Structure 1
Amino acid sequence: MSWYAYCIAERQAFPELSRHRRPMPLENVKGLFGNQVFLFPASDLAVLVSEHSEEDAARIDQQCQKDHARVIADCFKQTTLLPFRFNTTFTDDDALRRSIRSNHRHFVANLERFQGKAEMHLKVLVDDVEGASKMQTCCAGKEYLAGLREQAARQRERQARARALSVQLNRMFLPLAEEISCKRLDSGKLLIDIAHLIDRKCVERYQNKYVQAQQTMKDCQFQLSGPWPPYHFVHRPQTGHQTHQPAVPAQVVAAAARVPVAAVSA
């Protein structure tokens, strides 16, 4: 039987597993295609999985991304976890156990590191630097080189603006850690994508700071989601072979933004 994997948690977070060595149903939790979600015991860890057939694999769609996120969201309300990438599967029980065993130290270390932590996902939309436009591709020679220099200068301006804004927000929100990316949209706006790692007990304080930022930074448009599992901050284990492990899936982030809490994958 193939398994579809959602996330890893500490086994002790599920007392019902103390008397079980085989996968057991997680009551009232359904996964992809309405399949029952199981707790799969693996040493001192538990993996949330559901049965997965070849027919299921052939009909993976956007709704599945939302269902993946929803399962992780429900689990995250109960305990610290490490989400798997969307559409991570294992061919059988042995394959799942081998993967957990080979990365056990890494998983346990991350679960300890992120105990009581959460991620807040902040998107900031601002006007691009003045005069920023796509470079003409028809020019040549000196005009072309001048265009390249101008484009590089504008890119530096964008980066400097993004850094200045991120520093301002860092001082306001005081996160434990942050991950930032910046890109120019076709609309001519700059999108600054910020993940902040915080203590879960500080979520309300963070939300209050978000309201303050909206009121004081009138030239910015904000969008906030979370709390999420801290998937932007999970580092991959350095192994010599490919492993199934938590990391950051853009498509799942987009889907999960439409459900209460977030999810990730590997």
Structure 2
Amino acid sequence: MGLYVYAVGRTGDGELPPLQGVFDNPAYRLELEPLCAIVSECPSDTVRAERRHIAAAQRVLAALNAKFDLLPMAFGTVTRSEGDLRRFLDDNRETLTSQLQRVSGSIEMSLRLSLEVPDPIAYLVERTPALQAARERTFRSRRTPSYDDKIRLGQLFDEALRKYREARTAQVLAVIGASCAEVIALPVRQEKEIANLAALVSRSGLEQFEAAVEASAAQIDEDIAFNIGGPWPPHNFVQFDPSEA
């Protein structure tokens, strides 16, 4: 029978709480000092991304994250045998230990900034003289703008939006940076999104981080909404891909 792997951690971190994992099997530590893997028995080589399985994996990770340093594995990580997993831990001991040191004592928080306005294009044009002038040039005559004219105007808007995002993100980082061990800027996916940040925050410094976010929100454009989430396992700060091992 295979093993579902939730995370890699350290031995000697204290007793695990009772945890029911994927397929309702109990989670436990498989140890190879100084590392361990938190696993449960898995009757299948693959685990489908069904709601019940995702919820079980997240439940285990959330309980672990509250108390222990860990390197969370991607959902569906299954090893064929205990021997394979022990070889994985042994072969990658140095990298895994280094990554655990990186996230030591920390959890991940998410911070998203978004424009709470009906039309982000109009909002940005109103605040950007260069865009206003370009729009006037494009639409000043009664003729319908050409395809090339529209492309150029779209490119100018994209550049203005990029600069706006960068400036507001820098403004936020200047305030919250001291409360974080690391911050990563993740891709934004929607036009109204201004920033999508992952912050590595000390468990003991969570209140300081939240206060810094509140202070930053008070200083920035009032049309920008802040959405804070977490604590999460430090997925975005684990630079090791077990599938490549």
Which bracket does the TM-score occupy, shorter chain normalised?
Answer: 0.7 to 0.9
Alpha-carbon distance in structure 2 between the residues aligned to 1:177 and 1:93? 34
Alpha-carbon distance in structure 2 between the residues aligned to 1:117 and 1:110? 12
Amino acid at match of 1:150: L
Output aligned runs, 1:73-112, within 5 Å. 73-112=62-101
1:63 equivalenced with 2:52 (yes/no): yes
Amino acid at match of 2:155: A
Q: Identify the structure with bigger relative contact order (alpha carbons < 8 Å, sequence gap 6+).
A: 1
1:145 to 1:79, Cα distance in 2 relative to 1, 3 A: same
Output aligned runs, 1:5-154, within 5 Å. 5-14=5-14, 26-54=16-44, 57=46, 59-126=48-115, 127=117, 128-130=120-122, 143-154=146-157
SS at match of 1:49: strand
Indicate if the aligned counterparts of 2:107 and 2:234 stay in contact, CA closer than 8 A. Answer: yes
1:198 equivalenced with 2:201 (yes/no): yes
Q: Which runs of 5+ in 2 are unaligned?
A: 125-144
Indicate if the aligned counterparts of 2:96 and 2:240 stay in contact, CA closer than 8 A. Answer: no
Residue 152 of structure 1 deviates from its aligned partner by 2.4
1:63 to 1:210, Cα distance in 2 relative to 1, 3 A: farther
- The total of aligned residue pairs comes to 219
Alpha-carbon distance in structure 2 between the residues aligned to 1:198 and 1:27? 23
How much identity, in percent, do the aligned residues show?
23
Alpha-carbon distance in structure 2 between the residues aligned to 1:234 and 1:178? 13
Alpha-carbon distance in structure 1 between the residues aligned to 2:90 and 2:188? 39
When normalised by structure 1's length, the TM-score is 0.73
When normalised by structure 2's length, the TM-score is 0.79
- CA RMSD after TM alignment: 2.5
Residue 107 of structure 1 deviates from its aligned partner by 0.5
Q: Which runs of 5+ in 1 are unaligned?
A: 17-25, 133-141, 244-266
Residue 213 of structure 1 deviates from its aligned partner by 3.8
Amino acid at match of 1:226: G
Structure 1 residue aligned with 2:214, among 207, 211, 216? Answer: 211
1:160 equivalenced with 2:163 (yes/no): yes
1:233 equivalenced with 2:237 (yes/no): yes
SS at match of 1:30: coil
Alpha-carbon distance in structure 2 between the residues aligned to 1:170 and 1:58? 39
1:176 equivalenced with 2:185 (yes/no): no
Indicate if the aligned counterparts of 2:72 and 2:233 stay in contact, CA closer than 8 A. Answer: yes
Deviations 1:148-177 (A, max 9, x none): 333322222222111111111111112332
SS at match of 2:75: coil
SS at match of 1:183: coil
Amino acid at match of 2:8: I
Indicate if the aligned counterparts of 2:48 and 2:76 stay in contact, CA closer than 8 A. Answer: no
Indicate if the aligned counterparts of 1:159 and 1:182 stay in contact, CA closer than 8 A. Answer: no
Amino acid at match of 2:184: E
Indicate if the aligned counterparts of 1:182 and 1:191 stay in contact, CA closer than 8 A. Answer: no
Deviations 1:42-80 (A, max 9, x none): 2311111111112x8465413322221221111122211
Indicate if the aligned counterparts of 1:162 and 1:182 stay in contact, CA closer than 8 A. Answer: no
Alpha-carbon distance in structure 2 between the residues aligned to 1:81 and 1:51? 19
SS at match of 2:244: coil
SS at match of 2:12: helix
